[in-house]
């Protein structure tokens, strides 16, 4: 049964790319039109760099993938395998891929400007400023939480530290060989991948474990957070060809190899579905609708993807004909990663046996029922199902247990680090656009903008406050994180609205854009409404206020969008 589900899902993705992506691309986005892309028109060797479609696919794919399409399905498997799998397939094919592809095409047609900046012409200047400020706050939260998540993984999986650090050095070497020595991109990146895997083995022999050296967990995590955000600032200032592109190209190979090994181990193991199709609702559980649709964002549809499409990818697209593969195809690749995470959670963990879980401690015999015995444990365990269940698949393919688990941890951290420095780069662009909107020249300075991009995120990650729900001290970023899923889907809905209005003004058929906009807007409103009631009932007034403000922003944007749709063109 599990094998048939995997094969059917992969077949749907293939047909969608061959049929639906072509329809959307040719009938709405005009991805076969002949015009000069901003990568050529504004080439500067820094941010606007014409890039091979294969390298850019790797950069875009790994930038949008991050850790979210792994964590989301691993948590959402709490409701059973069917809801998670159906949402991944329907969301990725008809919503997420259309959203990412559309944001890329609109930005390319508008000389690499972000969707937030373009909204001034599509709607009005008020919406532009609101959109930019909303994106800036959301990106600070993303930076803080990804830094905290990566720091936690470094501390809990110390064998992953060496290969992740070595990958940075390898990426710089590959970038230099490609762009300064003219070496074809494939072989240096393949050699770098082989070396990365060699250092995975080294990492298992020489783990960098600060806890073993006497540091407290808090001190170790805080040290990693500072180091990661300083690194992301430096990486965002380097020319995009020197680190981001080659590192992401290596990571794309890592993902393809990792997915191939995962599915190989899956088909060798032939695991039974350990989870039921649907979990009967229990008292105190969050409702399937709408919480499932904000728990799995990346992997189905995510507003952050639009920031990547219009923030960095559009500035590197060499030919408009590459947009379909990069915009639509990358989202299907992320759906495939979400599929692997789902299978690890609903089938793979039944193969694990004795293990330790972040939210439960030592579990003598792991199963879906033990892992998902409560919603609190599902949320606390996060990506552990992928690391453990995916590791079990790799063990079935012949890998020793320590190597298998380190490989899975390196895979998760690699994509999280890609998102971290891509988000920092995007935040620098957003600060510059805010500077233009408010006539503040200092914000256009790349060093000032980068500093402003990183420092508030560091404050969110390092600062602590009392969690009103539990009374325990908690990092501010984690306290604010419960509203991220809904606000991320809100951003996706608003991006779809701008894309729809943009092509409506050009007399294109926009129903494939309007339907996702209505669906995702409804999900965001329902999710924020549910969370608002929960925050009020537990006296979490900061989160309640923020949720109310977000609901107000949705209403305002929809009204402004409606006015723009009906004004004369």
Please check whether residue 83 is in contact with residue 288, taking contact to mean a CB–CB distance below 8 angstroms: yes
Q: What is d(CA 482, CA 544) in angstroms, rounded to the nearest whole number?
A: 11
Asked whether the predicted pLDDT for residue 482 surpasses 80, the reply is no
Residues in CB range of 171: below 8 A, 6 or more apart: 192, 243, 246, 247, 250
Residues found in the chain: 569
Q: Tokens 């402003």 correspond to what residue?
A: 452
**What's the pLDDT tens digit per position in 450-472?**
999 999 999 988 987 766 556 66
Domains in the chain, number: 1
Q: What is d(CA 561, CA 117) in angstroms, rounded to the nearest whole number?
A: 15
Q: What is d(CA 176, CA 168) in angstroms, rounded to the nearest whole number?
A: 13
Other CB atoms within a 10 A radius of the CB of residue 497 amount to 28
Residue 476 lies in a domain: yes
Give me the numbers of helices (H) and strands (E) for the chain, helices first please: 25, 4
Name the region of 467 (left: φ>0; alpha: ψ -120 to 50; beta: rest). beta
The pLDDT assigned to 472 comes to: 67
Asked whether the predicted pLDDT for residue 475 surpasses 90, the reply is no
Residue 49 lies in a domain: no
Determine which helix (DSSP H) or strand (DSSP E) holds 476, and give its type and residue range: helix 476-480
Give the closest residue to 242 by CA, choosing from 151, 153, 179, 329.
Answer: 179
What is the arithmetic mean of pLDDT over 290-313? 91
Q: What is d(CA 113, CA 296) in angstroms, rounded to the nearest whole number?
A: 28
Please check whether residue 106 is in contact with residue 115, taking contact to mean a CB–CB distance below 8 angstroms: yes
**What's the pLDDT tens digit per position in 367-396?**
888 899 888 888 888 888 888 888 888 888
**What's the pLDDT tens digit per position in 105-140?**
999 999 999 898 898 888 887 888 888 888 888 889
Q: What is d(CA 471, CA 45) in angstroms, rounded to the nearest whole number?
A: 51
What is the arithmetic mean of pLDDT over 401-418? 79
Q: What is d(CA 566, CA 569) in angstroms, rounded to the nearest whole number?
A: 9
The pLDDT assigned to 569 comes to: 60
What is the arithmetic mean of pLDDT over 174-188? 87
Please check whether residue 512 is in contact with residue 327, taking contact to mean a CB–CB distance below 8 angstroms: no
Residue 47 lies in a domain: no
| Lowest-confidence region among 7-11, 97-101, 129-133 | 129-133
Q: Which two tokens stand for residue 348?
A: 């793979």
Please check whether residue 456 is in contact with residue 520, taking contact to mean a CB–CB distance below 8 angstroms: no
- Global pTM reads 0.88
The pLDDT assigned to 470 comes to: 60
What is the arithmetic mean of pLDDT over 425-432? 90
The pLDDT assigned to 172 comes to: 92
Q: How far is CA 497 from CA 91, 110, 534, in A?
A: 17, 17, 29
Choose between 470 and 341: higher pLDDT. 341
Please check whether residue 87 is in contact with residue 289, taking contact to mean a CB–CB distance below 8 angstroms: no
Q: Tokens 């009906």 correspond to what residue?
A: 566
Residue 43 lies in a domain: no
- What percentage of the chain reaches a pLDDT higher than 70? 98
Asked whether the predicted pLDDT for residue 444 surpasses 60, the reply is yes
What CATH code is carried by the domain that includes residue 191?
1.10.4160
What is the band of 42 on the pLDDT scale with cuts at 50, 70, 90? very high
Residue 32 lies in a domain: yes
Other CB atoms within a 10 A radius of the CB of residue 531 amount to 25
Q: What is d(CA 393, CA 83) in angstroms, rounded to the nearest whole number?
A: 23
Q: What is d(CA 39, CA 102) in angstroms, rounded to the nearest whole number?
A: 18
**What's the pLDDT tens digit per position in 527-557?**
999 988 988 988 888 788 888 888 888 888 8
Beta pairing class for 353-357 and 464-466: unpaired
The pLDDT assigned to 22 comes to: 97
**What's the pLDDT tens digit per position in 213-258?**
888 888 999 999 999 999 999 988 988 888 888 888 888 888 888 8
The pLDDT assigned to 447 comes to: 94
Residue 237 lies in a domain: yes
- pLDDT, averaged across the chain: 88
**What's the pLDDT tens digit per position in 344-363?**
999 998 888 887 787 777 88
Residue 455 lies in a domain: yes
Determine which helix (DSSP H) or strand (DSSP E) holds 465, and give its type and residue range: strand 464-466
Helix axes 244-269, 401-438, angle to 10 degrees: 140
Determine which helix (DSSP H) or strand (DSSP E) holds 218, and give its type and residue range: helix 217-237
- The residue range of the domain holding 211 is 2-36+54-277+288-566
What is the band of 517 on the pLDDT scale with cuts at 50, 70, 90? very high
Give the closest residue to 467 by CA, choosing from 539, 381, 376, 534.
Answer: 539
The pLDDT assigned to 471 comes to: 63
| Lowest-confidence region among 72-86, 264-278, 314-328, 390-404 | 390-404
- What percentage of the chain reaches a pLDDT higher than 90? 39
CA atoms within 13 A on the CB side of 242: 9
Phi, psi of 394 (to 5 degrees): -65, -35
**What's the pLDDT tens digit per position in 309-335?**
998 899 999 999 999 999 999 999 999
Asked whether the predicted pLDDT for residue 68 surpasses 90, the reply is no
What is the arithmetic mean of pLDDT over 301-311? 91
Please check whether residue 411 is in contact with residue 258, taking contact to mean a CB–CB distance below 8 angstroms: yes
The pLDDT assigned to 39 comes to: 94
The pLDDT assigned to 467 comes to: 62
Q: Is 529 exposed, middle or buried (0-12, 13-18, 19+ CB in 10 A)?
A: middle
Asked whether the predicted pLDDT for residue 509 surpasses 80, the reply is yes
What secondary structure does DSSP assign to 124-135, as a single string? Answer: -HHHHHHHHHHH
**What's the pLDDT tens digit per position in 241-253?**
888 888 888 888 8
Asked whether the predicted pLDDT for residue 101 surpasses 90, the reply is yes
Reduced to 3 states (helix: H, G, I; strand: E, B; else coil), residue 474 is strand
Asked whether the predicted pLDDT for residue 416 surpasses 70, the reply is yes
Residue 421 lies in a domain: yes
């Amino acid at each position: 049964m599990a094998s048939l589900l995997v094969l059917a899902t992969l077949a749907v993705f293939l047909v969608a790319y061959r049929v639906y992506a072509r329809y959307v691309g040719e009938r709405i986005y005009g991805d076969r039109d002949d015009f000069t892309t901003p990568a050529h028109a504004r080439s500067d060797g820094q941010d606007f760099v014409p890039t091979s479609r294969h390298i850019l696919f790797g950069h875009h794919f790994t930038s949008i993938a991050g850790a979210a399409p792994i964590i989301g399905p691993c948590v959402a498997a709490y409701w059973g395998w069917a809801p998670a799998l159906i949402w991944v397939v329907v969301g990725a094919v008809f919503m997420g891929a259309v959203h990412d592809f559309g944001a890329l095409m609109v930005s390319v047609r508008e000389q690499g400007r972000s969707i937030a900046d373009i909204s001034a012409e599509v709607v009005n200047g008020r919406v532009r400023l609101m959109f930019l400020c909303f994106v800036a706050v959301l990106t600070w939260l993303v930076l803080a939480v990804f830094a905290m998540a990566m720091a936690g993984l470094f501390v809990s999986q110390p064998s992953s530290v060496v290969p992740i650090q070595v990958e940075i050095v390898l990426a710089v070497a590959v970038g230099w060989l490609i762009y300064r020595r003219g070496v074809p991109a494939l072989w240096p990146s393949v050699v770098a991948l082989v070396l990365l895997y060699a250092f995975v083995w080294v990492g298992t022999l020489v783990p960098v474990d600060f806890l073993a050296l006497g540091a407290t967990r808090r001190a170790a995590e805080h040290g990693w957070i500072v180091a990661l955000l300083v690194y992301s600032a430096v990486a965002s200032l380097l020319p995009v060809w020197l680190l981001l592109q080659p590192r992401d190209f290596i990571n794309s190979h890592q993902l393809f190899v990792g997915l191939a090994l995962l599915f190989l181990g899956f088909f060798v193991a032939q695991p039974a579905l350990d989870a039921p199709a649907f979990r009967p609702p229990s008292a105190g559980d969050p409702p399937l609708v709408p919480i499932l649709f904000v728990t799995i964002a990346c992997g189905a549809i995510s507003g952050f993807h639009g920031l990547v499409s219009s923030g960095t990818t559009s500035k590197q697209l060499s030919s408009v004909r590459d947009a379909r593969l990069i915009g639509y195809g990358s989202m299907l690749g992320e759906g495939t990663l979400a599929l692997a995470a789902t299978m690890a959670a609903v089938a793979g963990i039944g193969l694990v046996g004795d293990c330790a879980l972040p939210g439960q401690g030592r579990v003598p015999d792991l199963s879906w029922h033990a892992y998902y015995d409560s919603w609190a444990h599902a949320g606390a365990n996060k990506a552990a199902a992928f690391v453990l269940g995916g590791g079990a698949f790799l063990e079935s393919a012949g890998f020793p247990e320590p190597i298998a688990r380190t490989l899975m941890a390196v895979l998760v951290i690699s994509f999280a680090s890609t998102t971290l420095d891509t988000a920092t780069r995007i935040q620098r662009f957003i600060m510059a656009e805010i500077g233009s909107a408010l006539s503040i020249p200092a914000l256009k300075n790349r060093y000032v903008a980068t500093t402003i991009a990183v420092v508030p995120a560091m404050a969110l990650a390092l600062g602590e406050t009392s969690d009103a729900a539990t009374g325990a001290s908690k990092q501010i970023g984690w306290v604010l994180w419960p509203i991220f899923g809904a606000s991320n889907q809100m951003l996706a809905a608003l991006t779809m609205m701008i894309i729809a209005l943009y092509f409506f003004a050009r007399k294109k058929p926009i129903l494939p854009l309007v339907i996702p906009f209505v669906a995702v807007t409804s999900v965001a409103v329902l999710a924020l409404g549910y969370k608002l009631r929960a925050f009020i009932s537990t006296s979490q007034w900061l989160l309640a206020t923020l949720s109310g403000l977000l609901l107000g922003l949705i209403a305002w944007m929809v009204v402004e969008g409606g006015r723009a749709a009906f004004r004369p063109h």
